[in-house]
Amino acid sequence: MRIVSQKYKYNPYSNYYFCFIKIKIQMTGKDRIKATLAGESTDRFPYVPCIDKYTQAGFQDPIKSMDLFELQKYCCSDMFRGLSSFSIEYTKFVKHTQSIGPDGSLIDEYKTPLGTLREVHRFTPESPYIPFPTEYLIKNVK
């Protein structure tokens, strides 16, 4: 809810001031999405754009130089997609190392008590933000 205007009026007969408040009800993004999924009416159509670094690379500055959170706020998005709000660390039993290969590929290795898992991703000039797997983490199922 948002207060749009507020007026005070004096009533000489009762010696009181009365406050008239005009309130505009504005839904939050979460309320808007939940109402739409439930088939209820909303104050406006919910907007959830699919914006990632690959999409952003096609824009001009200043949009191109914004981080994803700023860009989705700038676009009035009702939900922020593609932004991780948490990370998982397996430091007790698993040691994760990340390195860059001689050809520029991204190498992730997970050393576990049962052995080492390795995956390799490669970036291309056409897709500098989305890596393509060239070696999968799980090679076979035993």
Those residues with Cβ within 8 angstroms of residue 130's Cβ, 6 or more apart along the chain or in another chain: 52, 53, 54, 123
Q: How far apart are alpha carbons 123 and 132 in whole angstroms? A: 6
In a domain, 14, yes or no: no
In a domain, 117, yes or no: yes
Which pLDDT value is given to residue 126? 78
In a domain, 118, yes or no: yes
Total number of domains in the chain: 1
In a domain, 90, yes or no: no
In a domain, 8, yes or no: no
- State the average pLDDT over residues 7-28: 62
| 21-63 confidence digits (pLDDT tens) | 555 567 888 888 888 889 988 888 888 888 877 778 788 888 8
In a domain, 78, yes or no: no
User: What residues make up the domain containing 117?
Assistant: 95-135
In a domain, 113, yes or no: yes
Q: How far apart are alpha carbons 131 and 121 in whole angstroms? A: 5
In a domain, 103, yes or no: yes
What are 1's two structure tokens?
């809810």
| 67-109 confidence digits (pLDDT tens) | 888 888 888 888 777 666 566 676 778 888 999 999 889 999 9
C-beta of residue 84 within 8 angstroms of C-beta of residue 96: no
Classify the phi-psi angles of 82: left when phi > 0, otherwise alpha if psi is within -120 to 50, otherwise beta. left
